[in-house]
Homo-oligomer: A and B are copies of this chain.
Amino acid sequence: MNTSAQDSAPSDSATRPYMVESTVGGADRVPLWFMRQAGRSLPEYKRAREGTTMLESCLMPDLAAEITMQPVRRYGVDAAIFFSDIVVPLYAAGVGVDIKPGIGPVMDAPIRSLEAVRALPVLEAEQIDPVAKAVSKVRGELDDSVSLIGFAGAPFTLASYLVEGGPSRNHEHTKALMYSEPEVWDELMSSLASMTTHFLKAQIAAGADAIQLFDSWVGALDRADFERFVAPYSREVLSTPEIAAVPRTYFGVGTGELLSSISQLGVSTVGVDWRVPLDVAQTRVEGGKVLQGNLDPALLLADPDVLTAKVSEILDAGQRAINAGATGHVFNLGHGVLPDTNPDALARVVDTVHAFRSSRAY
């Protein structure tokens, strides 16, 4: 793929240490960022977004860059995550989709047939020029010590939105298609893997130092189905040379049964939700991975002392995971920041995590 971003802003990530390198090789600091750190919990975000829809704002380079920078300025986190949405590549490619407040992404028409799959547009480089421009702008503004993580939805979660037509509790149409029409499923997932690959490559070419694949809803599957119907496509994305060249994190909610499989997708970091303590997660993943997580975002609504105690527990579990072979711990939430979160609670977490001193002799 050839995007203008490749010409305009070649990545110099090779010269910058990725944040997690600070936790390996004896360094003593646990880096952190927060999933959905940019967004509705920040008053400066609400002001910046006024008069613009979510999807419009993702394709306005200056605005997307500003929103990406806001939590870095406010919290001093160790990474920026590029402000986007899982359906942005679909929207950019011309698929009929809108994000409805309080609901989530809603498709004009669900995609459930071979014809509908084949009618999906291919994502063209120029359609995500605004994304590349925004990434490049953010990378230019960030300190070298702060990593910029590229953002994309994983093929399964994208497929679920397309097949269900919107957010779903049970993903029943997605599963019915997967089980009953595996050829249609495979073609859909191939298209989405290709789209996701282009979307990530453009961000890396524009300056992203690392990427995270959000497979938010993949925890709805058991392990056998994950291996058969999902893993090949996520692996295809992650093994693309330009993507395999940067640190790669995979995250989904409720993935306790899938952690072993996820760790074998060609990732460097495994995101863990709050249900599985990090030291337990370490017993499930392939060796030599960084673990990322895993504060329950609901804890941010609890009392400060309760929150701080839980953060400390997670830091301790992360150390036990490192002592058992994990190559690092990136502190994060176990899912995205909830809209009602008080930013002061996140600031408190940053203080607690940055005050913590990691030790291999733990």
Interface residues of A (CB under 8 A from B): 170-173, 175-176, 179-180, 219, 221-222, 254, 256-257, 274-277, 296-299, 301-303, 306, 335, 338, 340
Contact = CB atoms under 8 A, between A and B. Distances in A.
A221 B176 CA distance: 29
Contact of A171 (B298, B303, B306): B298
A292 B221 CA distance: 19
A120 B136 CA distance: 57
A180 B301 CA distance: 9
A357 B176 CA distance: 28
A176 B298 contact: yes
A222 B301 contact: no
A254 B275 CA distance: 10
Central interface residue in A172, A256, A276, A303, by most chain B CB within 10 Å: A172
A68 B175 CA distance: 29
A298 B180 contact: no
Given A297-B172, A338-B170, A222 B302 contact: no
B175 A301 contact: yes
Contacts of A303: 179-180
Given A179-B306, A180-B306, A340-B172, A222 B277 contact: yes
Nearest to A276: B257
Nearest to A222: B275
A302 B179 contact: yes
B296 A219 contact: no
Contacts of A335: 170
Given A179-B299, A180-B302, 19 more contacts: A170-B338, A172-B298, A172-B338, A175-B298, A175-B299, A175-B302, A176-B298, A176-B302, A179-B306, A180-B306, A219-B254, A219-B275, A222-B275, A222-B296, A254-B254, A254-B275, A256-B257, A256-B275, A257-B276
